[in-house]
Amino acid sequence: MRIPKPLHSWNVTPKKAVSLQRRLADRIIQDPLARRPQYVAGGDIALTPDGKRLVAAWIIWDLNRRTQLEAVHVVSELSFPYVPGLLSFREAPAMINAARKLNTEPDLFMLDGHGLAHPRRLGLASHVGLFLDRPTLGCAKSRLCGSHREPGPKRGANVRLLDDGEIVGRVVRSRVGVKPIYVSVGHRITLDEAARIALACTQGYRIPEPTRLAHHYVTALRSSV
């Protein structure tokens, strides 16, 4: 897959990272997808046992056939600490490099983290979306900002995630009896589409298949690479 030239350097201080987020946030586009997605890329990372490197990977999920088509990965040195709100500066560089290895062009990229549901509206999914200039959505396992009511108990029940008076995401019950997932716009997609597709991608587990399979993939790789 061919990707655009980098929008900025990743070699920044946390202070500079915050200013970059403020500058990039207004570039996020919330437009409908060009077509109904078939190939959904799911991305995730895992740390090596020594905690010094990270494995970043993408798998491609065929939403029509319900099968995995491709899996690619890269290994890189950790160069940024985990700071709540600055996750993309730790994980995005490797995720973006791994995307170059994809042979199939995905219709959509799903990331393990938030998109617009971020204090400065530029979570991991949005940041990666801008760098790839592709549709992305964020699917996180827990809340970073905002507040919401408890969604109903049925699969598919969902409520809005509100932060500072803005609708920044949707809290979706992906399965009966489990904690809901947090879906938000990454880039070039609408919130309705993001929530609908994230749910359509779940196959009997709390986590949607693209992200779930990517997690399995990196977890298997971390010990042998």
Partner DNA sequence: GCGACAG
Partner DNA sequence: ATCTTGTCGC
Least distance from DNA to the Cβ atom of residue 137, Å: 12
Residue from 40, 59, 87, 189 in contact with DNA (CB under 7 A): 87
End-to-end alpha carbon distance in the chain: 23
- Which helix (H) or strand (E) segment holds residue 111: the answer is strand 108-111
Residue choice 141, 179, 205, 225 for contact with DNA (CB under 7 A): 141
From the list 28, 40, 45, 94, which residue makes contact with DNA (rule: CB under 7 A)?
Answer: 45
* Min dist. Cβ of residue 67 to DNA (A): 24
For DNA, the closer of residues 42 and 123 by Cβ is: 123
List the one residue from 88, 136, 158, 174 that touches DNA (CB under 7 A). 88
Site residues (CB under 7 A) for DNA, limited to 1-30:
none
Closest to 96 in 3D by CA, of 18, 1, 180:
1
The minimum distance between CB 38 and DNA, in angstroms, equals 26
Counting contacts by CB under 7 A, is residue 124 touching DNA? yes
* Separation CA 157–CA 154 (nearest Å): 6
Determine the Cα–Cα distance for residues 103 and 215; give it in Å rounded to an integer: 20
Residue 91 phi/psi, 5-degree rounding, is: -105, -30
Query: Which one of 7, 29, 47, 225 is in contact with DNA (CB under 7 A)?
Result: 47
Structure-token match 């690619």, residue found = 72
Angle at 114 between CA 164 and CA 94, to 5 degrees: 140
> Contact region for DNA (CB under 7 A) — 77-85, 97-105, 164-172, 192-200?
77-85
**Can residue 51 be called a binding residue for DNA (CB under 7 A)?**
yes
CA-based torsion, 138, 141, 146, 148: positive or negative: positive
Using CB under 7 A as the binding rule, whether residue 118 contacts DNA is answered as yes
Q: Work out whether 209 is an interface residue with DNA (CB under 7 A).
A: no
Whose tokens are 């549709």? That residue is 135
By CB under 7 A, residue 114 contacts DNA: yes
215 scored as a contact of DNA (CB under 7 A)? yes
Question: Which of residues 75 and 104 has its CB atom nearest to DNA in the complex?
Answer: 75
Amino acid, single-letter form, for residue 203: Q
142 binds DNA (CB under 7 A): yes
H-state helical runs in the chain: 14-24, 88-99, 124-132, 191-200, 209-221
- Read off the tokens for 113: 């983290």
Interacting residues with DNA (CB under 7 A): 44-47, 49, 51, 82, 84-88, 112-114, 118, 123-125, 138, 140-144, 215, 219, 222
